Structure 1
Amino acid sequence: MEFYGFIHFGMNTMTDREWGEGHDDPALFDPAALDADQWVLALKAAGMTGVILTCKHHDGFCLWPSDATAYSVAASPWRGGRGDVVAEVADAARRHGLRFGVYLSPWDRTEASYGSGTAYDDFYVAQLTEVLTRYGPLFCVWLDGANGEGPDGRRQVYDWERYYAVIRALQPDAVISVCGPDVRWCGNEAGETRPDEWSVVPGTLRDAERTADRSQRADDGAFARLVRSDDRDLGSRAALAGHASAPVWYPAEVNTSLRPGWFHHPAEDGAVRSAEELFAVYLRSVGGNSCFLLNVPPAADGRVRDADAAVLEELGRRVGDFRARRIGATATVSSGDAGDAATAWPGPGHTPWRPDGADALPSVTLAFAGPRRVEAVVLGEDIAYGQRVEHIVVKARRDGRWTTLAEANAVGHQRILTFPPVEADAVRAEVTAARDTPVLARVAAIGAAS
């Protein structure tokens, strides 16, 4: 899916906080102009493919009428106590062709049973079951590891395996993200990425992601811009060597917010990130074998602010323009059949290129009709066969001479290599190291912006 949105909205939006303490009066929740279609259309304008809604944050206030607690929209004046934000967003997503996912905080600062063990797990599973069964197919259940003290000072030990089993049973096509076995957190909330991102990592990393040790623990806006420099290499041969656990497929997601905070705060109306900055994150994440999850927080009236929507629209234009600058070319390969690897992007393609096993230097050459200014090359493996490329070099031909433009150690689903614009009549991608015969789904050259 590559690029999709987070919507942080709830009681914290009304109280102008990031982490509510729970027990706020439900009468405070009354977004008079809530428009889920406006939210979804703003995300779609940016080129997103899905939306994940914070159905319940750490304060415990539920955006749907939960049978497990009285602390929900049913106790608020909004829609006369008969509203359901989750239903409205799910329906809007379907109307506009986006997939729908849910965030349900395991930490609940209102529920009295939090910290008690099985009793709280029963409560959480009851709410999880509600959101998994009432709103149609889900593409994602997003779980973080926030874990604070309960009313009696104890912390809840989450029964992750039980939660996963419920999700698998009720939404078998949904990925379980972050504190889950399917999609991995990149390690920061600033939109930073690794030089080389591997989807194949040591199996022990899945266990580590279930802990709260690396999750945000305070209402601290600075956390959203903190970049962790540890674990920069998760999947090279050197990183995998010595691990007793078998490697697993555990792809990365890069998450960050359009604003300094995750919820809307009027004081941050002048701090909306620019389309230029977000497009750079897009190129590094979607172009770095990761998915990009961008948070867009609606305001207390229930609408995304005009400034935020304008940035998203401009971001969508930049993404569309980048794709439109793909240079038509004639493809030749060092061996095998090129398939549609050189013509499919930005679509998925159907027939990848697989060189012969005896090919010592597998390569794809894209020849243009004449000299063109090139500023990027898009590469992608067919990940149905795993992640195999360990080093790839991109070269350009001008006046009959080849020069190196860029190189990378990992490709995965998609790698976008950018470089200063250069005039060339052909580019070539050479796989110089691989764990098995490489299988490339896409190779495309991008012309320089005029």
Structure 2
Amino acid sequence: MAQEIPIPNTQQLAWQQAELGVVFHYDIHVFDNKPYNQADNRITPISNIHLFKPAHLDVEQWVISAKESGAKFAIITATHETGFALYPSKANPYNTSALGWKNGKEDLVGDFIKACRKHDIKPGVYLGIRWNSYLGIHDFKAIGTGDVQKKRQQDYNEMVEKMVTEICTWYGPLFEIWFDGGASSPDKGAPNVLPIVKKYQPNSLFYHNDQLAEARWGGSETGTVNYPCWSTFPFPYTGSGESAPESIYKNGYALLKTGDPNGSYFMPAMADAPLRGTGGRHEWFWEPGDEKTIYPLSDLMDMYRKSVGRNATLILGVTPDTSGLVPSQDRLRLQELGNEIKRQYGSPIKNTSSEKFIIKFPTLQEVQQLILAEDLSYGQRIRSFHIDAKTKTGWKTIFTGTSIGQKCIISLEHGLNCTEIKLHIDHAIGSPKIINFNAYDTF
């Protein structure tokens, strides 16, 4: 009996094809003049809402910065661990309407989504509901005991469900809805968000809760994934941390990092990393004097090859500063990244999508990199392959691999001079569907 091949739904296919996105982290604590401390931030409320006062707020500048990086989608943190909402929620009183801007109508989320559509960037929203220091919520649970705790938990769950309904119904179609650390499950007493998203945003990528994950975390915040990295998984969900099945979290989340070629569910991998993440730092939120922690361009390109080039979707974390803008150094690095991706991969010296999988050059040609791609609308079918090249001394194998998927970037360490390159599919489930086989002379 032939093996059934998991097929992506509309939103999963679009998300993998997008390849690169940006998530903008912004919260009230950016303005408190203190270093960000996650553990403390999750339990210490910020009562003075008027700390949040970006003098030159311009969410369109954020979106333009994302587009300059080559990103195809952008996500805004509508809420994070403080519980402060960047839009005038009617469900959550701890929001921008209390600031007195624009007669209480300031809506960073709405303006951000409008800017995304203006600049042909797919908009997404990130919701942090697992922690809310203002309301005393820790790991989805209202702090307290007895009936008081139960009533506070019920009130919080209802508030979150109304907020998710607002996000899903106020702003039009969304590309992705991302729940920070997952969204747990109503079976565990958490808000019941999945049916709301599926009712009002059926074509938005749902990421994720204990019932469903339409994408999976790639197992680290390095912006890279292991090779091979498969788009299939043995479960329809991933859980969060050790709330996941043991087979997911054991061995350093090995299963999240690789996926499972025989998995029954299509679930592509996300590789995420903050732009400010080098030199021992790992900054999702802006802090003064941290410009030196912005990843060098060479590191970002290595990250790109080890995420997008390994069949994952890369999401970079960018944080606006207290002025309300993406800092100039961060924006410059994003521009450099976009330009370098175009330089290296914008113009192949030769490509083929024929079923013969052969690239021929009229004379000896230097090749630095190769890109392979499958048509994932048919599922990820190829299980193993190798590539031969015809050099001055004859044919030789230059690469042996397994996963291809959305994109497989092969960098030839010292370059290669050849007249032909041939791809051999050694094993596939069903008929292989190669749509790109490109050669490049850039690195």
Normalising to structure 1: TM-score of the pair? 0.81
Equivalent in 121, 133, 137 of residue 173 of structure 2? 137
Contact 1:178 1:185 in 2 (8 A): no
Aligned to 2:193: 163
Mapped partners of 2:161, 2:370: distance in 1: 46
Q: Measure how far apart 1:22 and its partner are.
A: 2.7
In the alignment, is residue 432 of structure 1 matched against residue 426 of structure 2?
Answer: yes
In the alignment, is residue 402 of structure 1 matched against residue 402 of structure 2?
Answer: no
Aligned to 1:442: 436
Structure 2 counterparts to residues 114-193 of structure 1, below 5 A: 115=142, 116=150, 117-145=153-181, 157=188, 159=190, 162-179=192-209, 180-193=212-225
What residue identity is the alignment partner of 1:262? W
- Check 1:18–1:4 CA distance in 2 against 1; reply closer, same or farther (3 A cut): farther
Contact 1:27 1:76 in 2 (8 A): yes
Aligned to 1:366: 359
Mapped partners of 2:189, 2:441: distance in 1: 50
What residue identity is the alignment partner of 1:432? D
Contact 2:350 2:440 in 1 (8 A): no
Q: Deviations over 1:231-251 (max 9, x none)?
A: 3543145xx6xxxxxx11111
Structure 2 counterparts to residues 46-445 of structure 1, below 5 A: 46-79=69-102, 81-107=104-130, 108-111=132-135, 115=142, 116=150, 117-145=153-181, 157=188, 159=190, 162-179=192-209, 180-203=212-235, 206-207=236-237, 209-213=238-242, 228=252, 230-231=254-255, 233-236=258-261, 247-259=264-276, 260-328=282-350, 331=352, 341=353, 353=355, 363-399=356-392, 401-420=394-413, 421-445=415-439
What residue identity is the alignment partner of 2:303? V
Mapped partners of 1:250, 1:138: distance in 2: 19
Q: Measure how far apart 1:323 and its partner are.
A: 1.9
Contact 2:378 2:433 in 1 (8 A): yes
Q: Deviations over 1:78-105 (max 9, x none)?
A: 4453311111111111111101000111
Q: Which deviates the most, 43-52 or 259-268?
A: 259-268
Q: Measure how far apart 1:11 and its partner are.
A: 0.6
DSSP 3-state at the match of 1:42: helix
Mapped partners of 2:258, 2:213: distance in 1: 19
Mapped partners of 1:369, 1:439: distance in 2: 27
Q: Deviations over 1:333-388 (max 9, x none)?
A: xxxxxxxx26xxxxxxxxxx4xxxxxxxxx51111232221111111111121111
Mapped partners of 1:65, 1:144: distance in 2: 20
Q: Measure how far apart 1:129 and its partner are.
A: 0.8
Q: Deviations over 1:288-310 (max 9, x none)?
A: 11100011100011011111011
Contact 1:31 1:78 in 2 (8 A): no
Q: Deviations over 1:393-417 (max 9, x none)?
A: 1221123711122121111121111
Q: Measure how far apart 1:276 and its partner are.
A: 1.3
Q: Among the aligned pairs, what percent are the same residue?
A: 25
Q: Measure how far apart 1:200 and its partner are.
A: 1.5
Q: Measure how far apart 1:228 and its partner are.
A: 4.1
Measured on the aligned residues, the alpha-carbon RMSD in Å equals 2.4
- Check 1:23–1:281 CA distance in 2 against 1; reply closer, same or farther (3 A cut): same
Q: Measure how far apart 1:270 and its partner are.
A: 1.9
Q: Measure how far apart 1:139 and its partner are.
A: 0.4
DSSP 3-state at the match of 1:301: coil
Mapped partners of 1:56, 1:433: distance in 2: 46
Q: Measure how far apart 1:212 and its partner are.
A: 4.3
Mapped partners of 2:208, 2:154: distance in 1: 23
DSSP 3-state at the match of 1:402: strand
Mapped partners of 1:85, 1:18: distance in 2: 24
What residue identity is the alignment partner of 2:91? A
Mapped partners of 1:132, 1:275: distance in 2: 36
DSSP 3-state at the match of 1:429: strand
Contact 1:139 1:174 in 2 (8 A): yes
Gapped regions of structure 1 (runs ≥ 5):
149-154, 216-226, 241-246, 332-340, 343-352, 354-362
Q: Measure how far apart 1:145 and its partner are.
A: 2.5
DSSP 3-state at the match of 1:404: strand
DSSP 3-state at the match of 1:122: helix
Aligned to 2:64: 41
- Check 1:214–1:428 CA distance in 2 against 1; reply closer, same or farther (3 A cut): farther
**Greater share of helix:** 2
Contact 2:207 2:215 in 1 (8 A): yes
What residue identity is the alignment partner of 1:445? A
- Check 1:192–1:156 CA distance in 2 against 1; reply closer, same or farther (3 A cut): same
Contact 1:75 1:81 in 2 (8 A): yes
What residue identity is the alignment partner of 1:46? S
Q: Which deviates the most, 247-256 or 365-374?
A: 365-374
Contact 1:364 1:428 in 2 (8 A): yes
Mapped partners of 1:128, 1:18: distance in 2: 27
Q: Measure how far apart 1:427 and its partner are.
A: 1.1
Mapped partners of 2:84, 2:411: distance in 1: 44
Mapped partners of 2:101, 2:37: distance in 1: 21
Contact 2:205 2:214 in 1 (8 A): yes
What residue identity is the alignment partner of 1:252? A
Q: Measure how far apart 1:184 and its partner are.
A: 0.6
